[in-house]
Amino acid sequence: MSQENPCLTCGACCAYFRVSFYWGECRSAGGSVPDDRVVQISPYHAAMIGTDAKPARCVALLGDVGCSVRCTMYEQRSSTCREFEASWANGQHNPNCDTARAAHGLPPVTPPLQPDLSPDRVA
């Protein structure tokens, strides 16, 4: 049985962190990130509009943080977004996920329950 992706009801990272990345990921430079969704933050870096100042909220985030959210440009998102995973995705804890969730009053994602396979367990 698969667990539901916690990101679909969260979005805290999109409304907490600056989403910056190499400008070459922008469409005008041959990348996939739409130019009208970014702001230049240095000669070589861009950020998603809405994440370049606090309080942050990515222009591409649709919905209510902690309820139901989605990225309106999911297929065109930057490497920063592609590389960010919910805590315990693929068995790895992500303290940055916990930090963003806490900033929005959400509890940390807990690791999935593992079946007890010890030899002492009585079936």
Two tokens, residue 116: 């007890």
Two tokens, residue 17: 């962190």
Contact 83, 7 (CB under 8 A): no
Two tokens, residue 51: 């994440």
Two tokens, residue 82: 């592609």
* pLDDT value for 1: 30
pLDDT, tens digit (0-9, with 9 covering 90-100), for 30-79: 999 999 999 999 999 999 999 999 999 999 999 999 999 999 999 999 99
Which residue, among 77, 74, 57, 69, has the nearest Cα to 14 in the 3D structure? 57
Q: Which residue has the higher pLDDT, 111 or 21?
A: 21
Tell me the three-class secondary structure of 27-89, residue by residue. Answer: HHHCCCECHHHEEEEECCEEEECCCCCCCCCCCCEEEECCCEEEECCHHHCCHHHHHCCCCCH
End-to-end CA distance of the chain: 20
pTM of the model: 0.85
pLDDT, tens digit (0-9, with 9 covering 90-100), for 68-112: 999 999 999 999 999 999 999 989 999 999 999 999 999 999 988
Contact 81, 19 (CB under 8 A): yes
